[in-house]
Structure 1
Amino acid sequence: MTSVIFMGTPDFSVPVLQRVIADGYEVKAVVTQPDRPVGRKKILTPPPVKKEALKSDLKVIQPEKLSGSAELDEIIALDADLIITAAFGQLLPKKLLEAPKLGCINVHASLLPELRGGAPIHHAIIRGYDRTGITIMYMAEKLDAGDIISQREVSITDEDHVGTLHDKLSETGADLLSETLPLLIEGKAERTEQNHEQATYAWNIKREEEKIDWNRPGRDVFNQIRGLYPWPTAYTIFRDKPLKIQQARLSKGSGAPGEIIHVSDEGILFAAADDEAVLVTELQPSGKKKMPAADFLRGSNIGIGEKAQYE
């Protein structure tokens, strides 16, 4: 039986771990990030992968940082045949990359060499892609630069947001890994070097990238909103306070950028920089829970011609 060490942290990694267990591999340990304080009360909370691992009574290792740690030596001493990572959150030291006889592989949520980095799902939507996918690759010291073993494409529609695309890709990653592992173990898997000149990057989202610039085309604003939903969420400044925009639709209409040009039970229609507009259907005012835009309208006395600010 092939023995593996699984390394992952967020919800994305859970279906992948579940599939590795279901397919009958010997999981010698699950490596994940340490428990972190969550929420306003800062309750110490285990990462999703740890919760899943404990359901199967698997050994869990939680290094703050792998390089130079006692946990690194512990992982290597387990002498697993293969290391599988999926959104683990740390680069693996060379010492670990060279340890397993079958190598270290990663389940990455893009069609490499496109969108290397920590936020490929967000950036695929924000940049207006109509497709993305999963890449299973050998790991290298450089970020997401290893040789490709297998890939599978996943389409992106206007109805998708980060949450829906995340779930599609997570399940696709589990399926593709399940199909790829037997070939890898038998020495029959393909190995294709990436074209590094075509590499693009999807760095973690910064706070300034969450703010809506209504001077941009409506399509760009719409992609930004759904590319940040349900986390970390786009926002605008309205009546001098942050207003989170949870969900929206692309529509038609013209006016000054950020101007409210129509209100109805469907929502609030904001003009962008062209003849497209953005119909906000769900939002979250500062200090309140998220709500349908229609509920916000009933309690806010919003008028046509009011504007959201950018500067």
Structure 2
Amino acid sequence: MNIVFMGTPQFSVRILEAVHDKYGVTLVVTQPDKRVGRKRVLTYSPIKEKALELKIPVFQPRRIKQDFDVILDTKPDLIITAAYGQIIPNEVLDAPRLGCINVHGSLLPQLRGGAPIQRAIQRLYVTTGITIMYMAQQMDSGDIISQRSITIQPYDTSGTLFEKLSVLGRDLLMDTLPDIVAGTNSRTPQDESLVTYAYNLKRDEEHINWGRSCEEIDAHIRAFTPEPQCYSILDNKRLKILEVQPCTYPKNTTFDQYQNGTIVEVQKEYFGVKAEDGVIKVFTVQLEGKTKQDVKTFMNGSGRNMIKLYKVFQ
């Protein structure tokens, strides 16, 4: 078979490896190289790096809606996508005889869109999973071929959940592909009444709202970890809040007199910030222009004059 694989982030790498190992991949399609960091170093996507390692030809269209002939020229029997990052035109979707299928990081029709893993954590879901589906022009709306679920643990970040779902996606795809190749797989239309969306993360969402519950703040921080990360403002400086522990407390405590975002506790290993229904204990931070530090190290250095009782985060 001629298989074209389309993907970009680390999530897709082990999926590509498994498909190539069993079936062979003719072409890898990924996003253009990007300049990263302060030095603006031109950087390959994780999928491009793996494709080059496996000696698979790579195609990187800037706008696939206008530049897709390279894909059609391979005469693909099957196209597999996994977090590719662009809307694929109908000319490509209709090309392979076995269809164009997608490995999606949610239990569709829940969480259609580009950030299903982060949104599942942020919205306090206890379960998510992987869906193998046929691609359709409307975002993540195609018929479902197979699904498998996984529990979201209270300590999961988007980083740990990406890793778990990458393994689950690989395993489910490899279990599903034989039926797709044989033409014996099932396909179930999605129930449109159950659709929810998981749109891409926005920059203004990185700012912590201390007026929310401890559970919501903790989930927000975990959803944005390891990237793009959450921050708050103290002494007109941006301080990233990286590792926390939520601690709710009963009403009518001494903390109730302080506004949300107030530092109400300072210990050697952490400091506590008042939230709507408790205290967020902060253990790891990163001050703008500095490296990531545990709170003890931070308060022994540049944070010595910043972290004081009753100062308020903005």
Match 2:228 to one of 232, 243, 252: 232
Post-superposition CA distance 1:268-296 (Å, at most 9, x none): 1111011x221111110111111001222
In the TM superposition, residue 77 of structure 1 has moved relative to its aligned partner by 1.4
Match of 1:305 in 2: 310
The question of 1:295 aligning with 2:301 is answered no
Q: Which moved more, 1:299-308 or 1:142-151?
A: 299-308
Post-superposition CA distance 1:90-138 (Å, at most 9, x none): 1110011110000000000011111111111111111111111111100
Q: Contact 2:264–2:274 (CA<8 Å) still a contact in 1?
A: yes
Match of 2:81 in 1: 85
SS at match of 1:308: coil
Kindly provide the amino acid, as one letter, of the partner of residue 48 in structure 1: P
In the TM superposition, residue 243 of structure 1 has moved relative to its aligned partner by 0.8
Match of 1:75 in 2: 71
Q: What runs of 5+ residues in structure 2 fail to find an aligned partner?
A: 250-254
Match 2:263 to one of 257, 260, 271: 260
Match of 1:220 in 2: 216
Post-superposition CA distance 1:210-248 (Å, at most 9, x none): 111111111111111111001000111111211111111
Number of matched pairs:
304
TM-score under structure 1 length normalisation: 0.95
Q: Distance in 1 between matches of 2:265 and 2:8?
A: 43
Q: Distance in 1 between matches of 2:12 and 2:116?
A: 14
Post-superposition CA distance 1:47-68 (Å, at most 9, x none): 1101000111111111001112
The question of 1:102 aligning with 2:98 is answered yes
Q: Distance in 2 between matches of 1:225 and 1:96?
A: 38
Q: Which moved more, 1:252-261 or 1:174-183?
A: 252-261
SS at match of 2:48: helix
SS at match of 1:63: coil
C-alpha RMSD of the superposition: 1.1
1:182-193, aligned counterparts within 5 Å?
A: 182-193=178-189
Kindly provide the amino acid, as one letter, of the partner of residue 252 in structure 1: T
Q: What runs of 5+ residues in structure 1 fail to find an aligned partner?
A: none
SS at match of 2:215: helix
Q: Distance in 1 between matches of 2:269 and 2:223?
A: 21
Q: Distance in 2 between matches of 1:118 and 1:11?
A: 15
Kindly provide the amino acid, as one letter, of the partner of residue 289 in structure 2: G
Kindly provide the amino acid, as one letter, of the partner of residue 272 in structure 1: A
SS at match of 1:250: strand
Match 2:53 to one of 52, 55, 68: 55
Match of 1:3 in 2: 2
Identity of aligned residues (%): 46
The question of 1:281 aligning with 2:277 is answered no
In the TM superposition, residue 6 of structure 1 has moved relative to its aligned partner by 0.3
SS at match of 1:27: coil
The question of 1:15 aligning with 2:11 is answered no
Post-superposition CA distance 1:30-73 (Å, at most 9, x none): 0111111111111111111010001111111110011122xx11
Q: Distance in 1 between matches of 2:143 and 2:153?
A: 29
Q: Distance in 2 between matches of 1:57 and 1:94?
A: 28
Kindly provide the amino acid, as one letter, of the partner of residue 137 in structure 1: M
